[in-house]
């Protein structure tokens, strides 16, 4: 699909800036010398063709919006230019008009800035926690700890939700009908997004080997991903008793794949019919 003039300019600006930030010596080339026509420091377009193992002129056409790139080509360009995840997403959406089907870096979403611990600790009125892309617990507040018997939070929330008998039989009410159909497709999607992530693969293998979770996991193969944001499910709070949690989910901008989770507990009956949808007023 041909790029509009504005998109071609955006593409060229991004790629030129990233080329300029890479010293040729770091990629095995001699330092660039000043000369006519060389307006961008760093890697040259000719050097990009060499690094990408493409015929001369290929990268020039791409940078100028004259090449319809394949997924492999985009990935190689992004890694060669050392793009971060936000730049990777921007590049993919600009050239392919969709979100990328996988992250660029293996460690994407495996850490968050330390200030998030302070943010979560100060949240009052909701159970709040943060997990990385493999559902390892990174931070939480006291209200989240109070959910669990003995106040012992799990090291990995996905492993707890899918495999821990305490979760399936006590805390997560109606686990097989209300929780498993939500969390198991999330695990499958996480593995698909990071197929070479050893920790996620181990977790998936544990779930598949489990006599309870395994058959349900295999049934989710053709199930659309049910995102938890705004969902409501029954729960048994260790201190407050039976009730419902409404889930709100956000993603730190600098850590795609990590999750900021807020669980709003309500005792008694479901609140589905009471939650309005927030939207801006229509304007003519």
DSSP conformation class of 238:
T
End residue of a domain, out of 96, 123, 151: 96
How far is the C-alpha of 125 from the C-alpha of 123, rounded, in Å? 7
- Domain assignment present for 206: yes
Residues in CB range of 90: below 8 A, 6 or more apart: 14
For residue 271, the model assigns a pLDDT of 59
For residue 36, the model assigns a pLDDT of 62
End-to-end CA distance of the chain: 33
| 3-class secondary structure, 66 | coil
Number of domains in the chain: 2
Partner residues linked to 139 by β-bridges: 130
Low-confidence ranges of the chain (pLDDT < 50): 273
* Domain assignment of residue 222, given as a range: 115-274
Whose tokens are 């969390």? That residue is 183
Q: How many of the other CB atoms lie within 10 Å of CB of 109?
A: 25
End residue of a domain, out of 28, 63, 96: 96
For residue 224, the model assigns a pLDDT of 73
For residue 128, the model assigns a pLDDT of 98
For residue 254, the model assigns a pLDDT of 80
For residue 106, the model assigns a pLDDT of 75
Clarify whether residues 20 and 91 are in a common domain.
yes
Q: What angle do CA 251, 137, 106 make, to 5 degrees?
A: 60
**131-158 confidence digits (pLDDT tens):** 999 999 999 999 999 999 889 999 999 9
For residue 278, the model assigns a pLDDT of 64
For residue 221, the model assigns a pLDDT of 65
- Domain assignment present for 103: no
For residue 6, the model assigns a pLDDT of 93
**154-207 confidence digits (pLDDT tens):** 999 999 999 999 999 999 999 999 999 999 999 998 998 888 899 999 999 999
How far is the C-alpha of 26 from the C-alpha of 38, rounded, in Å? 19
- Domain assignment present for 102: no
Reported pTM: 0.73
For residue 227, the model assigns a pLDDT of 76
Alpha-carbon dihedral angle through residues 217, 218, 224, 229, given to the nearest 10 degrees: 0
CB 112 within 8 A of CB 255: yes
CATH classification at residue 203:
3.30.450.180
For residue 79, the model assigns a pLDDT of 95
Partner residues linked to 249 by β-bridges: 261
- Domain assignment present for 244: yes
Any idea how long the chain is? 284
How far is the C-alpha of 100 from the C-alpha of 96, rounded, in Å? 9
Closest by CA position to 161, among listed 95, 37, 245: 245
- Domain assignment present for 137: yes
User: Percentage helix, strand, coil, to 5, in the chain?
Assistant: 45, 15, 40
Closest by CA position to 237, among listed 153, 144, 128: 144
């Amino acid at each position: 699909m041909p790029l509009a003039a504005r998109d071609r300019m955006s593409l060229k600006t991004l790629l030129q800036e990233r080329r300029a930030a890479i010293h040729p010596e770091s990629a095995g080339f001699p330092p660039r010398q000043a000369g006519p026509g060389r307006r961008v420091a760093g890697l040259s377009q000719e050097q990009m063709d060499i690094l990408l193992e493409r015929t001369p002129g290929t990268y020039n056409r791409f940078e100028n919006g004259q090449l319809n790139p394949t997924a492999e080509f985009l990935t190689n360009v992004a890694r060669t230019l050392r793009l971060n995840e936000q730049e990777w997403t921007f590049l993919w959406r600009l050239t392919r008009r969709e979100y990328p089907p996988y992250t660029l870096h293996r460690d994407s979403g495996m850490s968050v800035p330390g200030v998030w611990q302070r943010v979560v600790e100060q949240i009052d009125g909701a159970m709040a926690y943060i997990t990385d892309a493999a559902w390892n617990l990174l931070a939480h507040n006291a209200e989240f700890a109070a959910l669990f018997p003995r106040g012992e939070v799990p090291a990995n929330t996905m492993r707890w939700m899918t495999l821990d008998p305490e979760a399936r039989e006590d805390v997560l009410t109606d686990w097989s009908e209300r929780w498993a159909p939500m969390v198991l497709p999330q695990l499958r999607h996480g593995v698909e997004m990071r197929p070479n992530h050893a920790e996620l693969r181990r977790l998936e293998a544990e779930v598949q080997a489990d006599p309870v979770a395994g058959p349900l996991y295999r049934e989710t193969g053709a199930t659309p991903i049910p995102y938890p944001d705004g969902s409501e499910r029954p729960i048994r709070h260790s201190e407050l008793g039976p009730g419902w949690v409404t889930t709100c989910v956000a993603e730190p901008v600098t850590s795609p794949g990590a999750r900021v989770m807020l669980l709003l507990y309500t005792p008694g009956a479901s609140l589905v019919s009471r939650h309005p949808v927030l939207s801006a007023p229509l304007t003519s």
